[in-house]
């Protein structure tokens, strides 16, 4: 009370024409607290959104990206469910009544072999149709395409995750510590960047094939084959450099921000600053680059499979299917066209999703 009185004394009008309000003319009743409703009327701000919600809202408005997400989801659902519905295995030759069906090779889509036809006529039971026909060894082509898609997609995703992890760690260490550490680490990146990756993959696949095959024999990896493992090795050795460069660049700009300085001033440890303050801010770039890494890995895999350096038989990938189809290109073109369409569809959809994510989450890149 005492101080208020003092203020009132000081606030007295000194000059006659001044617009200063003479508080001595008012008493306590003239000032009342605003009601909650009145406060709400003043509140003109929109509802606050998080970075993620904001990006998702923009992404949802992008019809191409949403369509691509639906396509990819549909493909994932099909390749998960189809092996449970379709009674054939990817390596299994068609059997009728427990007997190997020699007439079942090279069937056209939805065609039944002679033995199957006879069986259906005599027993009245339905045989599951060969949606894409059969291949030259009498294996159901539909289930092979399904397994090929599974392999190609998982190779892409695993490769992208590997690139992400290695590139993230390397790039953030180089960018955060800077100076000599950064200089040396980036020279290494420069050198790796200038190596012809595809040639080294081919070379390693050829050579490791002989070395790895006895090592992995009997393990679950053997089913995938040494070629795929050498491809992953090369991805881990060479492909992360793009990601590392990008993350380093991001971190170099972010680490000069005031909030990083503030965190350091209160004694936060390096690892925590990186994890809590710097990495979340380059999250958008990381997500976009990882999303675009998947189709590029699928490309590489299909290319290698096409050279005959893909997954080992009888497992297959989309590239291997396309390669096998070349032998009978003129008579059975659908065996090339189907895996080709699936590759294009997946790569196209993933590219469009990546572009959509970039438009939605990274305003700087626009």
Partner 1 sequence: MGRYVAKRILLAIVSIIIVSAITFFVMELIPGGPFNKEKATDPAVQKVLEERYNLDKPIGTQYILYMKGVLHGDWGVSLKTGRDIWTDITSKFSISARLGGAAAILAIIAGIIFGSIAALTRNKWPDRLIVFLTTLGTAMPSFVLATLLLLVFCLKLKWLPVWSSSNQNYTLPIIALSVYPMAYITRLTKTSMLDSLNQDYIRTAKAKGVSGMKVIFLHALRNALIPVITYVGPMIAYILTGSMVVENIFTIGGLGTAFVTSITNRDYTTIMATTLFLAILMVIANLLTDIAYKLVDPRITFN
Closest distance of CB 181 from partner 1, Å = 19
Q: Which is nearer to partner 1, 298 or 315 (CB)?
A: 298
Q: Which two tokens stand for residue 205?
A: 């696949």
Closest distance of CB 3 from partner 1, Å = 59
Q: Which is nearer to partner 1, 285 or 350 (CB)?
A: 350
What is the residue-wise DSSP string for 242-309?
A: HHHHHHHHHHHHHTTSHHHHHHHHTT--HHHIIIIIIGGGGHHHHHHHHHHHHHHHHHHHHHHHHTT-
List the beta bridge partners of residue 96: 99
- What are the φ and ψ backbone dihedral angles of 95, each rounded to 5 degrees? -120, 140
* Residues with Cβ within 8 Å of residue 330, at least 6 apart in sequence: none
252 binds partner 1 (CB under 8 A): no
What is the residue-wise DSSP string for 19-59?
A: ----GGG--GGG--PPPHHHHHHH--PPPP--HHHHHHHHH
**Pick from 79, 163, 164, 208: which binds partner 1 (CB under 8 A)?**
208
- For 97, half-sphere exposure in the C-beta direction (CA atoms, 13 angstrom radius) is 10
**Pick from 190, 261, 270, 363: which binds partner 1 (CB under 8 A)?**
190
Give CA torsion, residues 327, 330, 331, 336, to 10 deg: 60
Site for partner 1 in 209-248 (CB under 8 A): 210-211
Closest distance of CB 198 from partner 1, Å = 4
Q: How many residues bind partner 1 (CB under 8 A)?
A: 40
**Pick from 241, 343, 357, 360: which binds partner 1 (CB under 8 A)?**
343
196 binds partner 1 (CB under 8 A): yes
Q: Which is nearer to partner 1, 88 or 170 (CB)?
A: 170
* Residues with Cβ within 8 Å of residue 11, at least 6 apart in sequence: 20, 22, 23, 24
Site for partner 1 in 305-324 (CB under 8 A): 306-309, 319, 322-323
**Pick from 24, 97, 344, 363: which binds partner 1 (CB under 8 A)?**
344
Closest distance of CB 364 from partner 1, Å = 14
- The structure tokens 């999303």 sit at 291
User: What's the burial of 311, exposed, middle or buried (CB within 10 Å: 0-12/13-18/19+)?
Assistant: buried
Closest distance of CB 66 from partner 1, Å = 16
Q: Which helix (H) or strand (E) holds 205?
A: helix 197-216
Q: Which is nearer to partner 1, 280 or 333 (CB)?
A: 333
207 binds partner 1 (CB under 8 A): yes
177 binds partner 1 (CB under 8 A): no
Residues in the site for partner 1, rule: CB under 8 A? 190-191, 194-196, 198-200, 202-204, 206-208, 210-211, 295, 299, 302-303, 306-309, 319, 322-323, 326, 329-330, 333, 336-337, 340, 343-344, 347-348, 351-352
């Amino acid at each position: 009370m005492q101080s208020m009185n003092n203020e009132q004394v000081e606030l007295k009008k000194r000059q006659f024409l001044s617009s200063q309000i003479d508080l001595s003319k008012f008493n306590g009743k003239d000032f009342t607290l605003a009601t909650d409703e009145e406060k709400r009327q003043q509140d003109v701000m929109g509802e606050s959104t998080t970075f993620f919600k904001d990006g998702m809202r923009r992404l949802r408005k992008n019809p191409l990206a949403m369509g691509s997400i639906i396509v990819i989801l549909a493909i994932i659902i099909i390749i998960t469910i189809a092996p449970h519905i379709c009674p054939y295995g990817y390596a299994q030759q068609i059997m009728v009544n427990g007997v190997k069906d020699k007439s079942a090779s090279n069937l056209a889509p939805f065609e039944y072999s002679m033995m199957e036809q006879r069986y259906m006529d005599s027993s009245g039971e339905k045989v599951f149709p060969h949606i894409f026909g059969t291949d030259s060894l009498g294996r159901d082509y539909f289930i092979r395409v399904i397994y090929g898609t599974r392999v190609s997609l998982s190779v892409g995703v695993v490769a992208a995750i590997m690139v992400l992890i290695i590139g993230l760690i390397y790039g953030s260490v180089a960018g955060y510590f800077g100076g000599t550490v950064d200089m040396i680490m980036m020279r290494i990146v420069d050198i790796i960047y200038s190596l012809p990756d595809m040639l080294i993959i081919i070379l390693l696949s050829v050579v490791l094939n002989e070395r790895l095959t006895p090592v992995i024999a009997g393990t679950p990896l053997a089913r995938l084959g040494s070629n795929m493992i050498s491809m992953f090795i090369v991805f881990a050795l060479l492909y992360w450099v793009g990601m590392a460069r990008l993350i380093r660049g991001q971190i170099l700009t972010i680490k000069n921000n005031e909030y990083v300085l503030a965190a350091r001033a209160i004694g936060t440890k390096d690892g925590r600053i990186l994890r809590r303050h710097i990495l979340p801010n380059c999250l958008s770039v990381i997500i976009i680059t990882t999303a675009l890494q998947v189709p590029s890995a699928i490309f590489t895999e299909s290319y290698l499979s096409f050279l005959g350096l893909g997954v080992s038989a009888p497992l297959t990938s989309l590239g291997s299917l396309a390669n096998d189809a070349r032998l009978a290109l003129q008579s059975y073109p659908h065996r090339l066209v189907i895996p080709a369409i699936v590759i294009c569809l997946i790569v196209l959809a993933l590219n469009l999703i990546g572009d959509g994510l970039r438009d939605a989450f990274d305003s700087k890149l626009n």
